[in-house]
Structure 1
Amino acid sequence: MATYILVPGADGSAWYWHLVVPELRERGHTVVTVDLPGEDSAGLDAFADAIVAAVHQAAPLPDARIVLVAQSLGGFSAPLICDRVPVDSIVLVNAMVPLPGETAGEWWDNTGQAAGRSAYAEATGRAAGAEFDILTDFFHDVPPEVAKEAMAAPRTGPPAAVFAQPWPLAAWPRVPTRFLQGRDDRFFPLEFQRDVVRERLGIDVETVPGGHLVALSRPRELAAELLKEA
Structure 2
Amino acid sequence: MVNFVLVAGAWLGAWAWDEVVPELRAGGHTAHPLTLSGLADKQGTAAGQQTHVQDILDEVERLDLRDVVLVGHSYSGIPVGQAADRLGERLTRVVFVDSNVPADRESFVSAWPDGRDMVEASIAENGGFWAPLAAADYEGQGLTEEQIGRIVAGSTPHPGATLTEPAVLTRPLGELPAVYVKCLLDGDEPNEDVVELLTAERWRLVEMDTGHWPMFSQPRELARVLLEAAAR
TM-score (norm 2): 0.77
Pair 1:106–1:41, CA change in 2 (3 A): farther
Q: Does the aligned pair in 1 maintain the 2:185–2:209 contact within 8 Å? A: yes
For residues 208 and 89 of structure 1, the distance between their equivalents in structure 2, rounded to whole angstroms, comes to: 19
Q: Does the aligned pair in 1 maintain the 2:79–2:102 contact within 8 Å? A: no
Pair 1:200–1:22, CA change in 2 (3 A): same
Q: What secondary structure sits across from 1:179 in the alignment?
A: strand
Tell me which amino acid in the other structure corresponds to 1:20: V
For residues 63 and 137 of structure 2, the distance between their equivalents in structure 1, rounded to whole angstroms, comes to: 34
Pair 1:40–1:102, CA change in 2 (3 A): farther
1:152-177 CA-to-partner distances (Å, cap 9, x unmatched) read 23x41321111221111143163211
Pair 1:211–1:136, CA change in 2 (3 A): farther
Backbone CA RMSD of aligned residues: 2.5
For residues 151 and 36 of structure 1, the distance between their equivalents in structure 2, rounded to whole angstroms, comes to: 18
2:186 is the counterpart of 1:180: no
- How many correspondences in the alignment? 203
2:105 is the counterpart of 1:101: yes
Tell me which amino acid in the other structure corresponds to 1:44: Q
**Which of 64, 67, 79 in structure 1 is aligned with 2:81?**
79
Q: For residue 20 of structure 1, what is the aligned residue in structure 2?
A: 20
For residues 207 and 213 of structure 2, the distance between their equivalents in structure 1, rounded to whole angstroms, comes to: 14
2:216 is the counterpart of 1:216: yes
Matches within 5 A, 1:1-230: 1-38=1-38, 39=44, 41-60=46-65, 62=66, 65-82=67-84, 83-84=86-87, 86-109=90-113, 134-138=134-138, 140-153=141-154, 155-170=155-170, 171-172=172-173, 174-185=175-186, 189-191=187-189, 193=190, 195-202=192-199, 205-228=205-228, 229-230=230-231
Pair 1:201–1:99, CA change in 2 (3 A): farther
Query: Which deviates the most, 68-77 or 10-19?
Result: 10-19
Q: What secondary structure sits across from 1:28 in the alignment?
A: coil
Q: Does the aligned pair in 2 maintain the 1:87–1:175 contact within 8 Å? A: no
- The structural deviation recorded for 1:184 is 0.9
Q: For residue 120 of structure 2, what is the aligned residue in structure 1?
A: none
For residues 115 and 204 of structure 2, the distance between their equivalents in structure 1, rounded to whole angstroms, comes to: 18
1:13-68 CA-to-partner distances (Å, cap 9, x unmatched) read 111111111110112211011111115841121112212232334444x5xx3111
TM-score (norm 1): 0.78
Tell me which amino acid in the other structure corresponds to 1:15: W
For residues 208 and 198 of structure 1, the distance between their equivalents in structure 2, rounded to whole angstroms, comes to: 16
Tell me which amino acid in the other structure corresponds to 1:4: F
For residues 147 and 19 of structure 1, the distance between their equivalents in structure 2, rounded to whole angstroms, comes to: 15
Pair 1:40–1:201, CA change in 2 (3 A): farther
For residues 31 and 224 of structure 2, the distance between their equivalents in structure 1, rounded to whole angstroms, comes to: 14
Query: Which deviates the most, 165-174 or 213-222?
Result: 165-174
Pair 1:53–1:98, CA change in 2 (3 A): closer
- The structural deviation recorded for 1:9 is 0.6
Tell me which amino acid in the other structure corresponds to 1:52: L
Query: Which deviates the most, 90-99 or 164-173?
Result: 164-173
Q: What secondary structure sits across from 1:197 in the alignment?
A: helix
Q: What secondary structure sits across from 1:215 in the alignment?
A: helix
Q: What secondary structure sits across from 2:173 in the alignment?
A: coil
